[in-house]
Amino acid sequence: MEETQTTAAKGKRTDIRTLWTLFKTCFIISGCTFGGGMVIISMLQKKFVEELKWIGQEEVMDLVAIAQSCPGVMAVNTSIIIGYRIAGVFGALLTVVGTVLPPMIILTIISACYVQFRSNQIVALILKGMQAGVAAVMINVTITMSGNVLEKKEALSAVMLAAAAVAILMFDVDVILVILICGLISGFVTVGKLRKGAAK
């Protein structure tokens, strides 16, 4: 973890190899991933955190929270933030193009032959099979991120995690509202700690 954080703290990279890796990674992940934002985030996490070690695990959670609370597609928002974090504005442009380009190409082809595609039983069965894989990946993301929160052994974080899960799953509370409330609570707590530290 310390190595990951050290690597992430080195600053923005602007060399050609890094920029190409950013574009290529987002392009491949976006083109080969089915199931929406959370699935792509899992793949981005494995690539940029575990393999390349360009950003830290805790930072990924912060980036996901920001992307989730912003307007637009979550996968695109996350890729923009990661690209900017690693290589600045140009990195953000490359990652957003890399993320958007594959689905745009695929949807253009599908739209051209939509009737044949929709009535094809083989395609329908393939998509049903993919649903199981998507569910497994989303469960993996949930367990991983929940584990990172609980590892800190902070009572407030654990309580907010449980309360957010109950609010969303049992009471169908809007995800954005839950994120904003949790953010405000954490903000107030942090300000309180800073004031206490300043008073000492």
**Rounded Cα distance, 101 and 182, in Å:** 34
In this prediction, residue 7 carries a pLDDT of 43
Average pLDDT over residues 35-59: 82
The per-residue pLDDT for range 137-173, each reduced to its tens digit, is 778 778 877 887 777 778 888 899 899 999 999 999 9
- The answer, yes or no, to whether residue 130 has pLDDT greater than 90, is no
In this prediction, residue 185 carries a pLDDT of 93
In this prediction, residue 26 carries a pLDDT of 93
**Across all residues in the chain, what is the average pLDDT?**
83
In this prediction, residue 4 carries a pLDDT of 41
- pTM for the predicted model, two decimal places: 0.64
